[in-house]
A = this chain, B = another copy of it.
Amino acid sequence: MIKIGASILSADFGHLKEEIKRAEEAGVDFFHVDMMDGHFVPNISMGIGIAKHVKKLTDLPVDVHLMVENVDLFINEFEEMDYITFHIEAVRFPFRIINKIKNIGAKPIVALNPATPLDEIEYILDEVYAVLVMTVEPGFSGQKFIPVMTKKIRKLKSMIVENGYDTKIFVDGGINVETAPMAVKAGADVLIAASAIFGKEDVKTAVKNLRDSALKALNIKNPE
């Protein structure tokens, strides 16, 4: 089953509560909070306080995506979160980070920038809940899906299958009704979208279309 995460990066911050309600009603499976530090990526978006607000405003799972260099500084702030996503490029000791995330009761996800080779995560692949394949270079919403990333997703899928692991594949960046089918056919299990959800007038239809495009690509009928 394909799952959909709504990244609040494209939400209207004047009415965050309503935005979250609308996405919930549209049937998204979880919320994704992009936390940027202006160092790992050339932008600052939102931080600890807002992530905690989001968690209070919904009963759905929340995934905090740490696009930051000082990963270690933040994990213990996020005990209430469901997933904590860190970048392999930002950490020297991922086993420690993964254990720290598990210790607070969250599920660890490792993210890779588009150019980062998959062998960077070979030895931790069985330790994480999921791998987040960035399909754009992180930092901004509204960028275009990088086509060669489908090759990377396929390669990752086959690493997981060969080893008999049950690690999930998340994708994030430029996901919409055109690119979601490519991603899921390549092996993605979970789609994260920002502007394709919150950027739309009708959030409900937007989420439905996104899900349908993915299911159709897999020849699965939407059970909804």
Contacts and interface: CB of A to CB of B under 8 A. Distances in A.
Interface string A35-64: 111111011111111100100110000000
Interface residues of A, number: 56
- What's the number of copies of this chain in the assembled complex? 6
Interface stretch (A22-30, A115-123, A182-190, A213-221): A115-123
Contacts of A119: 117, 119
B16 A14 contact: yes
A117 B113 contact: no
Contacts of A161: none
9 contacts: A13-B13, A38-B39, A46-B47, A93-B137, A94-B115, A95-B137, A117-B119, A123-B148, A123-B151
A1 interface: no
Interface in A96-125: 96, 113-115, 117, 119-124
A53 B10 CA distance: 11
A148 B45 CA distance: 34
